Each structure stands twice: as C-alpha cells, then as structure tokens.
Amino acid sequence: MPNQNASMIEKLKEIMAVDFAVWELSLFLDTHPEERKALEDHNKFVRISYQLKSEFESNYGPLRLDCISPFPYKYINSPWPWEIEY
C-alpha cells in the first residue's frame, strides 16, 4: 500500500474527528438554531474540515468521488477503507 503511512492515518483520524463534531453540532442546531456559540463552533469545525480535506487530498489523493483528479485518475490509488489499519 504505497500511500499508507502513519502520518496519513493520523490525518484521516483528525478528519473523522472533525467531521463527527460537525455532525453532532448539526444535530444540535436542528433543535437549537439560535444558539450562537454552537453555530460558531459548527462553522469553525466546517472550516477546519474543508482545510484538512484539501490538505489531505493534495498530499495523498482524492478522498471522495466528487474530488477533481489530476491525470491519470487518482482515486484508484488510495487504499480501500478496509485496507487501512487504524
């Protein structure tokens, strides 16, 4: 697995943690749309998520099918989810 290394896995874990926080705050905001601090935290984590994913993708290749790929198509080079040892 050419792309798999400890720093890639650390980055993936960070992305998963940030996306989980985004998800949790989205659920909270569904019932508390006027809770300003929660919305600020939500937006903060959304920005971090975009940032981390864009860094990850430029270093390790596409994370998702809707990523723009350089030639040749890069998505197939990434490890499958079940090939990653966390």
Partner 1 sequence: MNENKRGFHIDMKLAQVYIPMQLYGETFEIKQALRYGTLFPELYRPFPPQNTME
Which positions lie near partner 1, rule CB under 8 A? 13-14, 16-18, 20-21, 24-25, 28, 31-32, 35, 37-38, 41, 45
- Specify the residue, 28 or 79, whose C-beta has the smaller distance to partner 1: 28
* Least distance in angstroms from the C-beta of 39 to partner 1: 10
* Least distance in angstroms from the C-beta of 33 to partner 1: 12
- Specify the residue, 82 or 86, whose C-beta has the smaller distance to partner 1: 86
* Least distance in angstroms from the C-beta of 82 to partner 1: 19
Q: Give me the half-sphere count of Cα atoms (radius 13 Å) on the Cβ side of residue 67.
A: 21
Q: List all residues 6 or more positions away from 25 whose beta carbon is below 8 Å from its beta carbon.
A: 38, 39, 41, 42, 45
Q: What angle do CA 50, 24, 85 make, to 5 degrees?
A: 65
Q: Is 31 buried (19+), middle (13-18) or exposed (0-12) by CB count in 10 A?
A: exposed
- Specify the residue, 42 or 62, whose C-beta has the smaller distance to partner 1: 42
